[in-house]
């Protein structure tokens, strides 16, 4: 658990109400002073692919990368042929896919306060990590500039 | 390129297409300004459907609030009803964990709840607004007793680990000081004629009077130590009787600290439409609602049924499911119509014969992370030591909330707190932990606010909603853009199938949203059934 949560933009008030519906709290506005907030949308400080995986991804894809199955399932990343394309994985992180939230930050403006965001370097790092761990041995790497190029213009 | 994925989630096919053409020209996402979250309940009282067509049947998928409301009302109208439920219990996210309960999350980690009798936490919804009329109606009809849910407790804390040396502040003093300083500033501006253009001279006098009373200002419109301010923010030594109880006034916190501490944020929530007092909770836990529905519906609900295929044609609906209690034996249920309340996080993975508009809508909604932790302590130290009776403490620590039980006041035995209610990155990080790590972290963080934690903690249980086998997430996150493109398609009847649930409402995550979506859906389905006549 890192304590270093860099806070992001202020949530729109109406959007704030959304989360308030569920949780009991307020937003965590961007600020340099210590501010009480209830939601840590937040931005992970680490640029280690391993750390990012362990602090976010494994919540669903599990510590061993094998996913899980209940009424629905989380896909295994171990041995996932879709990871042949580093771009595919990076873009999935940026944009989200179906029930998986977008971690790219900008593509879900209204929810930037409840979905943690990863920057280009972090997305590259965790992509490279997953493609070379859990038994995966996919060739090639991706860097922050490659990830940036995948982002849709704003 | 500009046509794909204007909403939050995209499909694999769309992602590949984007890679192929290099992301460059897609339209930017619009910042959302309104999500419609504060919408009033559309429930205005029970509205009987009228008689069902002779012999007509409805298959309902999911025995959560939406599914059970649909089953209850459709049965009453004369439909033949069957409900398929994945879990071995009814309620879905309407759920209470009590001593003796066992919960196995995705990934296989099992927890045994070891709370004492009568103690519990609600891993999902835990409060009802006084204007959530649908929920209140069914609680009454089903005999579910309600008691106050204390949203605002002036004696509870607002805590910023980086302000006041990390010492938690009473809600009472934060509110008094914030209002007091704002009132003083506004009075100052008024008297300095800074508001002459905006406020008439007569109204300025009225405004000044209101500021003086509202902000507890003195005769010179100052927010300073004295009787006025102690009467709202509390005393250093409170008044009493006899010779030993002469009051001592308390010292207000200065403006700069009030503002920079950010503690004012901890007061915003209770001002929200859905959180304003009076709030309610079912006596014995939110799960009492689901249990009451289950008793009422009895054998209509088939448990341990994992839906794996949803098909329809012009004559009816066929849903294939596996009985998870009988080594996955596969069966098919048939009906004329289907109300599907399966969360979109799961529904999107089930082969389903619906048109592209509904299929695209199902794929367009990502699910939010959230986690809760319940902690049992040997004694109710928050009451005994700190005079906190119910309500919520807010903190900037990852746990974000400590919520005190709104029941069992003054009992001398053990007590259970909600030791954490997390969202965002904090929730993601807690989800990625083992249940034991979550509990340990909640105790560690909470002890910074209540040092008694260290000596009094006994046991805990945690639920991280992305690890929930029956939802794979907490609630559907609609962006305004996704809603404008997909919401109507999600709710529209597709052939013989209609969807319901919090995801098909403008009240995400609220049970009232699930309930009103079900009422709306079955009304439309019933009209279509009537138009088509008797069972085929």
Judged on CB neighbours under 10 Å (0-12, 13-18, 19+), B179 is buried
Residue whose structure tokens are 């609680």: B139
Using CA atoms, how far apart are residues B88 and B44, in angstroms rounded to an integer? 32
Q: pLDDT at position A21, please? A: 40
Q: pLDDT at position A114, please? A: 74
Instruction: Compute φ and ψ for B467, nearest 5 degrees.
Output: -95, 5
Tell me, yes or no, if B326 comes closer than 8 A to chain A by beta carbon: no
Which tokens belong to A69? 């199955």
Cβ-contact B303, B85 below 8 angstroms: yes
Q: Name which of B12, B23, B265 is nearest A151 (Cβ-Cβ).
A: B23
Q: pLDDT at position B478, please? A: 92
Cβ-contact B443, B453 below 8 angstroms: yes
Inter-chain residue contact B31 with A110, CB threshold 8 Å: yes
| Closest to B389 measured CA to CA, from B168, B132, B149, B187 | B149
Q: Which chain B residues are Cβ-neighbours of A78 within 8 angstroms?
A: none
Residue of A nearest to B29 (CA): A107
Q: Name which of B469, B475, B509 is nearest A70 (Cβ-Cβ).
A: B469
Using CA atoms, how far apart are residues A70 and B318, in angstroms rounded to an integer? 22
Torsion angle, alpha carbons of B399, B400, B405, B411, to 10: 60
CB burial readout A117-144, b (16+ within 10 A) else e: bbbbebbbbbbbbbbebbebebeeebee
Residue B41 CB contacts under 8 Å (≥ 6 apart), including other chains? B129, B131, B132, B133, B134, B507, B512, B516
Query: What 3-state class would DSSP assign to B104?
Result: strand
Q: Give the angle subtended at the CA of B266 by the CAs of B263 and B270, to the nearest 5°.
A: 150
Q: pLDDT at position B268, please? A: 87
Tell me, yes or no, if B10 comes closer than 8 A to chain A by beta carbon: yes
Q: What is the DSSP code string of A143-154?
A: -HHHHHHHSPP-
Residue B320 domain-assigned (yes or no): yes
CATH number, domain of B516, equals: 3.50.50.60
Residue B6 domain-assigned (yes or no): no
Q: What pLDDT band is residue B37 in, cutting at 50, 70 and 90? A: very low
B281 and B295 together in one domain? no
Inter-chain residue contact B23 with A91, CB threshold 8 Å: yes
CB pairs under 8 A between A and B: 302
Question: Which of B107, B256, B394, B466 has the highest number of chain A CBs within 10 A, making it the mutation to test binding with A?
Answer: B107
| Closest to B490 measured CA to CA, from B360, B313, B366 | B360
Residue A114 domain-assigned (yes or no): yes
The secondary element (H helix, E strand) that includes residue B58 is strand B57-61
Query: What 3-state class would DSSP assign to A140?
Result: coil
Q: Cα Rg for chain A, rounded, in angstroms?
A: 16
Inter-chain residue contact A55 with B34, CB threshold 8 Å: no
Residue B123 domain-assigned (yes or no): yes
Instruction: Compute φ and ψ for B404, nearest 5 degrees.
Output: -95, 150
Identify whether B278 is preceded by a cis peptide bond (ω within 30 of 0): yes
Using CA atoms, how far apart are residues B236 and B249, in angstroms rounded to an integer? 5
Inter-chain residue contact B424 with A149, CB threshold 8 Å: no
Strand residue runs (E) in B360-447: 370-377, 391-395, 401-404, 415-423
Q: What pLDDT band is residue B328 in, cutting at 50, 70 and 90? A: confident
DSSP letter for B235, please.
Answer: -
Q: pLDDT at position A35, please? A: 43
Inter-chain residue contact B396 with A35, CB threshold 8 Å: yes
Q: Which domain holds residue B334?
A: 31-91+287-364+480-532
Q: pLDDT at position B245, please? A: 84
Residue of B nearest to A41 (CA): B424
Using CA atoms, how far apart are residues B169 and A42, in angstroms rounded to an integer? 24
Phi-psi region of A140 (alpha: psi -120 to 50; beta: other; left: phi over 0): left
Q: Name which of A95, A109, A114 is nearest B423 (Cβ-Cβ).
A: A114
Which tokens belong to A8? 């992001």
How do residues B288-313 score in pLDDT, each as one tens digit?
999 999 999 999 999 999 999 999 99
B332 and B231 together in one domain? no
B309 and B292 together in one domain? yes
Residue B181 CB contacts under 8 Å (≥ 6 apart), including other chains? B215, B223, B255, B258, B259
User: Facing residues of B498 across strands?
Assistant: B339
Tell me, yes or no, if B346 comes closer than 8 A to chain A by beta carbon: yes
- Mean pLDDT within B154-166: 95
Please state the domain count of chain A. Answer: 1
Residue of B nearest to A112 (CA): B424
- Mean pLDDT within B8-33: 39
Using CA atoms, how far apart are residues B85 and B250, in angstroms rounded to an integer? 57
Inter-chain residue contact B9 with A99, CB threshold 8 Å: yes
B502 and B397 together in one domain? no
Q: Which chain A residues are Cβ-neighbours of B275 within 8 angstroms?
A: 20, 24
Inter-chain residue contact B370 with A22, CB threshold 8 Å: yes
User: Facing residues of B248 across strands?
Assistant: B237
Query: What 3-state class would DSSP assign to B121?
Result: strand
Cβ-contact B415, B377 below 8 angstroms: yes
B374 and B427 together in one domain? yes
B304 and B403 together in one domain? no
Q: What pLDDT band is residue B398 in, cutting at 50, 70 and 90? A: very high
Residue B7 domain-assigned (yes or no): no
Between β-strands B415-423 and B370-377, what pairing exists: parallel, antiparallel or unpaired? antiparallel
Q: What pLDDT band is residue B375 in, cutting at 50, 70 and 90? A: very high
Inter-chain residue contact A34 with B472, CB threshold 8 Å: no
Q: What is the pTM of this model?
A: 0.88
Q: Quote the distance between the C-alpha of residue A85 and its chain's center.
A: 18
Q: What percent of chain B has pLDDT over 70?
A: 92
Using CA atoms, how far apart are residues A134 and A136, in angstroms rounded to an integer? 5
Residue A105 domain-assigned (yes or no): yes
Each residue's pLDDT, cut to its tens digit, for chain A (154 residues) gives: 233 222 233 333 333 344 434 333 333 333 333 344 444 556 788 999 999 999 999 999 999 999 999 999 999 999 999 999 999 999 999 999 999 999 987 645 555 557 788 999 999 999 999 999 999 999 999 999 999 999 977 5
CATH number, domain of B103, equals: 3.90.660.10
Tell me, yes or no, if B16 comes closer than 8 A to chain A by beta carbon: yes
B353 and B485 together in one domain? yes
Which tokens belong to B93? 């996210």
Using CA atoms, how far apart are residues B5 and A143, in angstroms rounded to an integer? 24
Residue A8 domain-assigned (yes or no): no
B416 and B457 together in one domain? yes
Q: Which chain A residues are Cβ-neighbours of B345 within 8 angstroms?
A: 72, 98-99
Residue B199 domain-assigned (yes or no): yes
Q: pLDDT at position B11, please? A: 52
Q: Name which of B11, B29, B425 is nearest A116 (Cβ-Cβ).
A: B425
Q: pLDDT at position B5, please? A: 33
Q: Which chain B residues are Cβ-neighbours of A113 within 8 angstroms?
A: 424
Q: Name which of B350, B400, B441 is nearest A23 (Cβ-Cβ).
A: B400
Residue B163 CB contacts under 8 Å (≥ 6 apart), including other chains? A34, A36, B257, B260, B261, B262, B263
Please state the domain count of chain B. Answer: 3
Distances from the Cα of B369 to the Cα of B59, B90, B335, angstroms = 30, 22, 35
Q: Which domain holds residue A146?
A: 13-22+41-150
Distances from the Cα of B158 to the Cα of B126, B167, B261, B422, angstroms = 20, 9, 10, 16
Q: Quote the distance between the C-alpha of residue A96 and its chain's center.
A: 9
Q: pLDDT at position B45, please? A: 73
Q: pLDDT at position B534, please? A: 52
Distances from the Cα of B375 to the Cα of B121, B152, B264, B401, B432, angstroms = 9, 21, 27, 13, 19
Q: pLDDT at position B21, please? A: 40
Asked if the model's pLDDT at residue B535 lies above 80, the reply is no
Tell me the nearest-neighbour CA distance from A26 into chain B, angstroms. Answer: 6
Residue B244 domain-assigned (yes or no): yes
Tell me, yes or no, if B272 comes closer than 8 A to chain A by beta carbon: yes
Question: Which of A12, A52, A70 has the highest number of chain B CBs within 10 A, making it the mutation to test binding with B?
Answer: A70
Residue B311 CB contacts under 8 Å (≥ 6 apart), including other chains? B317, B318, B319, B320, B352, B353
Q: What percent of chain A has pLDDT over 90?
A: 58
CATH number, domain of B239, equals: 1.20.1440.240
Asked if the model's pLDDT at residue B38 lies above 60, the reply is no
Residue B21 domain-assigned (yes or no): no
Q: pLDDT at position B48, please? A: 86
Residue of B nearest to A147 (CA): B23
How do residues B253-299 score in pLDDT, each as one tens digit?
999 999 999 999 899 888 999 999 999 999 999 999 999 999 999 99
Cβ-contact B233, B172 below 8 angstroms: yes
Using CA atoms, how far apart are residues A76 and B357, in angstroms rounded to an integer? 28
Residue A52 domain-assigned (yes or no): yes
Question: Which of A14, A15, A24, A67 has the highest number of chain B CBs within 10 A, making it the mutation to test binding with B?
Answer: A24
Residue of B nearest to A87 (CA): B19
Inter-chain residue contact A96 with B24, CB threshold 8 Å: no
Residue B15 domain-assigned (yes or no): no
Q: Which chain A residues are Cβ-neighbours of B479 within 8 angstroms?
A: 108-111
Residue A73 domain-assigned (yes or no): yes
CATH number, domain of A120, equals: 1.10.760.10
Residue A31 domain-assigned (yes or no): no
Distances from the Cα of B222 to the Cα of B184, B192, B453, angstroms = 6, 14, 40
Average pLDDT, rounded, for chain B = 92
Q: What pLDDT band is residue B12 in, cutting at 50, 70 and 90? A: low
């Amino acid at each position: 658990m890192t304590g270093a949560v860099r806070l992001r933009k202020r949530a729109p008030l109406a959007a704030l109400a959304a989360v308030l519906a569920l949780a009991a709290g307020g937003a965590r506005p961007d600020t340099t002073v210590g501010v009480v907030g209830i939601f840590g949308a937040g931005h992970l400080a680490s640029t280690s692919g391993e750390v990012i995986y362990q602090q976010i991804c494994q919540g669903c894809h599990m510590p061993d990368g094998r996913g899980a199955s209940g009424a629905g399932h989380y896909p295994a990343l171990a041995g996932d042929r879709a990871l042949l394309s580093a771009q595919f994985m990076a873009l999935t992180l940026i944009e989200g896919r179906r029930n998986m939230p977008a971690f790219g930050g900008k593509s879900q403006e209204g929810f930037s306060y409840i979905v943690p965001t990863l920057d280009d370097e972090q997305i590259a790092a965790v992509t490279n990590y997953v493609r070379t761990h859990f038994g995966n041995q996919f060739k090639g790497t991706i860097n922050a500039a490659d990830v940036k190029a995948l982002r849709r213009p704003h | 390129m500009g046509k794909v994925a204007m909403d939050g989630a995209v499909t694999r096919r769309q992602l590949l297409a984007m890679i192929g053409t290099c992301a460059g020209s897609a339209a930017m996402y619009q910042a959302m300004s309104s999500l419609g979250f504060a919408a009033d309940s559309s429930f205005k009282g029970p509205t009987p459907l009228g008689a069902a067509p002779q012999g007509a049947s409805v298959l309902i998928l999911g025995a959560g609030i939406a599914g059970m409301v649909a089953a209850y009302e459709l049965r009453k109208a004369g439909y033949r009803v069957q409900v398929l439920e994945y879990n071995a219990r009814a309620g879905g996210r309407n759920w209470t964990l009590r001593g003796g309960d066992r919960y196995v999350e995705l990934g296989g980690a099992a927890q045994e709840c070891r709370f004492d009798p009568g103690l519990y936490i609600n891993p999902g919804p835990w409060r009802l607004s006084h204007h959530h009329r649908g929920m209140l109606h069914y609680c009454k009809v089903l005999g579910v007793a309600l008691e106050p849910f204390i949203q605002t407790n002036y004696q509870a804390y607002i805590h910023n680990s980086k302000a006041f040396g990390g010492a938690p502040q009473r809600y009472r003093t934060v509110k008094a000081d914030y209002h007091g300083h704002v009132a003083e500033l506004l009075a100052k501006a008024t008297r300095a004629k800074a508001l002459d253009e905006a406020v008439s001279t007569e109204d300025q006098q009225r405004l000044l009077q209101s500021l003086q009373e509202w902000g507890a200002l003195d005769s010179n419109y100052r927010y300073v130590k004295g009787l006025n301010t102690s009467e709202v923010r509390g005393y250093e030594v409170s008044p009493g009787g006899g010779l030993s109880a002469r009051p001592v006034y308390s010292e207000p916190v200065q403006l700069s600290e009030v503002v920079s501490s950010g503690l004012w944020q901890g007061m915003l929530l209770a001002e929200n439409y859905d959180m304003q007092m009076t709030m309610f909770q079912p006596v014995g836990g939110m799960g009492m609602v689901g249990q009451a529905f289950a008793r009422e519906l009895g054998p209509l609900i088939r448990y341990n049924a994992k839906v794996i295929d949803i098909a329809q044609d012009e004559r009816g609906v066929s849903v294939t499911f596996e009985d998870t209690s009988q080594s996955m034996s596969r069966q098919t249920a048939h009906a004329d119509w289907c109300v599907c309340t399966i969360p979109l996080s799961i529904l999107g993975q089930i082969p389903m014969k619906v048109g592209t508009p509904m299929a695209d809508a199902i794929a367009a909604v990502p699910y939010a992370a959230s986690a809760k932790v319940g902690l049992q302590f040997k004694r109710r130290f928050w009451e005994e030591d700190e005079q906190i009776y119910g309500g919520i403490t807010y903190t900037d620590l990852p746990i974000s909330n400590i919520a005190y039980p709104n029941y069992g006041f003054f009992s001398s035995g053990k007590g259970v707190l909600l030791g954490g209610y997390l969202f965002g990155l904090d929730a993601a990080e807690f989800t990625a932990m083992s249940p034991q790590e979550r509990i340990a972290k909640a105790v560690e963080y909470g002890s910074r606010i209540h040092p008694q934690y260290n000596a009094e903690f006994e046991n805990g249980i945690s639920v991280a909603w992305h690890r929930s086998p029956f939802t794979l997430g907490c609630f559907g996150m609609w962006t305004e853009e996704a809603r404008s493109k997909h919401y109507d398609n999600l709710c529209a009847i597709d052939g013989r199938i209609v969807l319901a649930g919090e995801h098909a409402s403008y009240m995400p995550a609220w049970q009232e949203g699930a309930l009103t979506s079900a009422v709306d859906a079955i009304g439309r389905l019933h009209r279509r059934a009537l138009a088509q006549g008797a069972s085929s």
